[in-house]
Structure 1
């Protein structure tokens, strides 16, 4: 009892709190790990298996606590939700203690994982539970936390290093220097960087190093050399579990050596003091040993790398002094901009469509995806023939052979329906099927191809966004539409054009260039139903050409909507529902630029290697005007969809506004 009373605890930290520099901006660089040794691959597989077991155990505990929390509705009403969460242990600290308990009681997991890794894995689980318990800014909550699957478990979070205490970096840490790494793989600078396929594994430094202190006898104090004293090639080091007897896990790093990558590598790796955290990530690759390749995601304090050409482009875009609008469509993205003062210069328009080469590539990818899906289905049916019946053709052939007295022929790949109960549920779950090695390899290649296609689309979106910023400036307005709702009608087409990804990339580029992509409500502006002269021109969704009987303006519907978006004004820029259309300024621009504006609204005026969209109708299903909004299942907040009836609580009825009618303006 006296020992417990004399025990000291850590008090409040008296040192100034450490904060991230550069306003908390961080960036991430992906470092491929050259893991070719079978022993190291086995250790990594064991590490992922241990962390997966811990995550699943903590997830089961969290799901049980969440279910008990929602079941205790009377207790929540009487004592409050916070008291119920405290009783059930629904907090970050409680889940961390659960992870510690599973790690200690399992025994074998301590050979692979450490308490620090278990704590951060519990934090990952708590993030999902937190999104389920507490609503976000829009008042929506996420669904009940799910467990996931083994192939989707790809990331093991590491612990950030201490920037106030020397030599304090647990879990995964990056050791070595960029200079030593480049010197080791260039023979002292005699040739270009050439890293071998099987990279040598660095060894821990030997001997003793001075500590900078003096012993009681007056001699310089020394200590045993550790990985902190390693100045050789770069490597990621993990000490292993507390009961591991196999030493440190050392994973050599392979830095990017493609042309033009050295400046980016220097930006991230030249200053070890900016290294903050390392996460271990694996990625599916069928040709790699074990079917996985491993990467170290290094978090660095400070902004990411931007090439000099991109910085120069953004500086030029910030000086354009233009206002523009963006119209996202199922088949294209239209942008129109004008000088901000509406004096001098000329209107500029751009249409982003799929080129013939991109369409051909998409067709090849779709065919390959269908072929692989068909091969996977055949392989599953062949290895689980008892779970499938005969197809109609196979059944007829079996009947003919039986009628002729022939011996029944064994069907290796049955083509019928899967054996199911009366309610349609399969008798055997798909997860219990036997899968061949060829099936697993094909599935890995399919996942690898899907990841490559997604990365290619993101890269294309960034390039297109930079082209738009360079031509139209960083000040743009776009309609506040929930593109996810469009997938109910045009999912296949949207997966090819990806307008949502383009708009997201455009938002990032606008902010990087010092501007902003502002969202405007569709109910208060109705850009597709107005003309630049201020008149309302009603059009159905399949009508892709704009023709105004009042002023005679003709052009493409999407380009006219984009031009009108440039004249949207806001009472509160952060609130899309406060947007309104300044028809006086749009009419002024129509009179000022006249012929140049009409040409910009007929065809794209910016030079682009992408072909222009052919005139005519867009392949969309026939729609009728609805009296009530369509049911929503994907959006987090109420957003407009095409041809949808006006909902209550909007910013105002579209149409002429007092003081903004062009007929009341003197020119």
Structure 2
């Protein structure tokens, strides 16, 4: 199964109010169920004697006590029905099917708390949650045995009908969805008009219009900004949505006591041709549609609604990704050495015979890749960190300004008030206190921060900060997928890596891990290996100690600060190279008794010593284990900062401002003293090192003229 996100359109204000009330009703039911579940869990844990009572079947007493408390899926569903029946307004919005699915979600959290998982861990007690964290209303799955049986949220319409209704007028009228998907990747040259983006500065500093040719994809649809709700065919005054073959729309029948009819939300599909192969795969066959959830997402302009459609198909794989995975070399074995700031990968042919490797269409040589952050990526990260720090400071200043009574004055502000009091001046109100938050003797704040008054600017900055963080997270995940695909395309899907706990790295080198994200890269590499037909195996560091051994089997102890490998001791082979690359090369020769158990990993030093002689690693500079022999082809998206696709920004020309500017002394007299000079003698008493009075210009101005040399 896979899930497809479909953006929804709220056609009018009445529909928006109805959708918001639907979410409010669902949240009230879920909050009540969470309170009930929390109370029942507390009662279950409090009765120790009831749970530990002797019985012929182990655990039977605890199960009977849970049934008596109603701490089960059926018990929570009955509680949801009671809440729905006892309320006078919830039935106008919710049906019992929706309440049942909400109860099932609450039970899933309770079940994770009561019963341990495969690793023996349990989740915490169920919490009530918050209104802002409630973002999903579950729907009921469609029946695939009985025709036309789909309760709660339903998807009606066809992809062909949507294309017929909102087709781009520039495309032929007989265009089908299959033909629209074939337009992906075909550019349309468009001559851009001279606008702000097409202007550049000349040598004189003036803006000059530049006409250049841009390339963009073909737009298949021309959907209006306000899409009307589709009207289905009707018979005897009743809508027949199962006969609707027009544009796609989400339909909800409403509660049993509702009198406003069905809720219809049009679906807005991507208009570009590049997304149509995915749309054809997911929406081309209505028989694969299984379940619809209504989801809302917070933005700067309010809530945005989406429909998450579950289809009975695996996830869509683009043709380029499928071709790359087919072309991945299956006849290689490789090792990966993950680090805080780099990821080293070395692979060898699976067959030790070079002639046999050529017959299998596998490169007979050793291939190594050492992935680090480029200077451009480091610059992008530093700029992002500076911007995030600025937003956090702005949030703190806004909170302090709106809640000045909850903060103490800083040491500097107190000294200033003391000086004013000594001089007999009235106390000046401090708009932004800089001290600590007012708290009790035990350190608990007098007022909880969640009760603070937040201004509109604070909310806007916080939303902008959240959007920037989400964008950065999405960019890191995309980069990890690209890197994993490139590594598997070069070294193959059969890789071995040390079984390390990234959380230990985070505690010691948190900033470096946040920049390079080794855990994200390793997880993406494991998924890519599995998707390509291989596996990323994990080997225990206690049984292998890759960084402390050479390929010949000789132990070469190294501290963490030593980044070079030298096997030049007694009995060594003389191999030199990068520490991480040598460890990755040694990981390629690890064998497992049980691939699922990292502790059964052992290094086959006989095969590694044979590789030293076959691949010539014992002579020469050992280039494959000293530096990368392959460069990953992971092009960044156009317009991403720090990439060659981004044009260099022209330097900003400073404009003359009619204010005092201090600079270093030049040959001509400055009108304003430099920072390391004293004030003119007419303002202070004469002393050694005084400067001349400012020169008066025509008109009585003491400022330098704009045309200074």
Query: TM-score, length-normalised on structure 1?
Result: 0.82
Is 2:267 the counterpart of 1:256? no
CA distance in 1, matches of 2:241, 2:263: 12
Moved over 4 A (4+): none
Give the equivalent residue in structure 1 for 2:320: 309
CA distance in 2, matches of 1:285, 1:329: 37
Paired residue secondary structure (1:261): helix
Give the equivalent residue in structure 1 for 2:232: 205
Distance change in 2, residues 1:225/1:48 (3 Å): closer
Is 2:632 the counterpart of 1:608? yes
Q: Name which structure has the greater RCO, CA cutoff 8 Å, separation 6+.
A: 1
CA distance in 2, matches of 1:547, 1:145: 55
Paired residue secondary structure (1:78): coil
Distance change in 2, residues 1:304/1:194 (3 Å): same
The equivalences for 1:97-496 within 5 A come to 97-186=78-167, 189-190=171-172, 192-208=219-235, 224-286=238-300, 288=301, 291-317=302-328, 319-344=329-354, 345-496=364-515
Distance change in 2, residues 1:346/1:62 (3 Å): same
Instruction: Please give the per-residue CA displacement for 1:405-441, whole angstroms capped at 9, x wherever unaligned.
Output: 2222122222211111111111111121122222222
Query: Does the 8 Å CA contact 2:593/2:600 hold for their aligned counterparts?
Result: yes
Give the equivalent residue in structure 1 for 2:608: 586
CA distance in 2, matches of 1:514, 1:380: 53
CA distance in 2, matches of 1:361, 1:237: 44
Paired residue secondary structure (1:293): strand
Is 2:13 the counterpart of 1:38? yes
CA distance in 2, matches of 1:373, 1:197: 38
CA shift at 1:387, angstroms?
1.1
CA shift at 1:114, angstroms?
2.3
Paired residue secondary structure (1:326): strand
The equivalences for 1:1-150 within 5 A come to 26-35=1-10, 37-79=12-54, 80-150=61-131
Instruction: Please give the per-residue CA displacement for 1:327-365, whole angstroms capped at 9, x wherever unaligned.
Output: 111101111110001222011111222222222221222
CA distance in 1, matches of 2:168, 2:324: 37
Query: Does the 8 Å CA contact 1:157/1:279 hold for their aligned counterparts?
Result: yes
CA shift at 1:195, angstroms?
3.6
CA shift at 1:443, angstroms?
1.5
2:578 pairs, out of 550, 556, 580, with 556
CA distance in 2, matches of 1:137, 1:195: 51
Gaps of 5+ in 1: 1-25, 209-221, 612-667
Query: Does the 8 Å CA contact 2:30/2:102 hold for their aligned counterparts?
Result: yes
Query: Does the 8 Å CA contact 1:510/1:517 hold for their aligned counterparts?
Result: yes
Paired residue secondary structure (1:260): helix
Distance change in 2, residues 1:73/1:540 (3 Å): farther
CA distance in 2, matches of 1:246, 1:367: 51
CA distance in 2, matches of 1:101, 1:190: 56
Distance change in 2, residues 1:304/1:610 (3 Å): closer
Distance change in 2, residues 1:207/1:609 (3 Å): closer
CA distance in 2, matches of 1:224, 1:242: 16
CA distance in 2, matches of 1:167, 1:597: 71
CA distance in 2, matches of 1:197, 1:496: 42
Query: Does the 8 Å CA contact 1:284/1:447 hold for their aligned counterparts?
Result: no
CA shift at 1:514, angstroms?
1.0
Query: TM-score, length-normalised on structure 2?
Result: 0.77
Instruction: Please give the per-residue CA displacement for 1:168-195, whole angstroms capped at 9, x wherever unaligned.
Output: 1122211111111112111574484234
Query: Does the 8 Å CA contact 1:186/1:193 hold for their aligned counterparts?
Result: yes
Query: Does the 8 Å CA contact 2:97/2:152 hold for their aligned counterparts?
Result: yes
Distance change in 2, residues 1:272/1:487 (3 Å): same
Q: Considering fraction of residues, name the structure with more helix.
A: 1
CA distance in 2, matches of 1:296, 1:378: 38
Query: Does the 8 Å CA contact 2:297/2:303 hold for their aligned counterparts?
Result: yes
Between Structure 1 and Structure 2, whose CA radius of gyration is higher?
2
Instruction: Please give the per-residue CA displacement for 1:206-232, whole angstroms capped at 9, x wherever unaligned.
Output: 432xxxxxxxxxxxxx99442222111
Give the equivalent residue in structure 2 for 1:654: none
The equivalences for 1:521-600 within 5 A come to 521-549=540-568, 550-595=572-617, 598-600=622-624
CA distance in 2, matches of 1:159, 1:153: 18
Deviates more, 1:592-601 or 1:84-93: 592-601
CA shift at 1:601, angstroms?
1.0
Query: Does the 8 Å CA contact 2:3/2:310 hold for their aligned counterparts?
Result: yes
CA distance in 1, matches of 2:122, 2:332: 40
Query: Does the 8 Å CA contact 1:162/1:169 hold for their aligned counterparts?
Result: yes
Deviates more, 1:560-569 or 1:112-121: 112-121
Distance change in 2, residues 1:152/1:343 (3 Å): farther
Query: Does the 8 Å CA contact 2:251/2:263 hold for their aligned counterparts?
Result: yes
Instruction: Please give the per-residue CA displacement for 1:47-80, whole angstroms capped at 9, x wherever unaligned.
Output: 2222222222111111111122222222211153
Distance change in 2, residues 1:128/1:532 (3 Å): same
Query: Does the 8 Å CA contact 2:349/2:366 hold for their aligned counterparts?
Result: yes
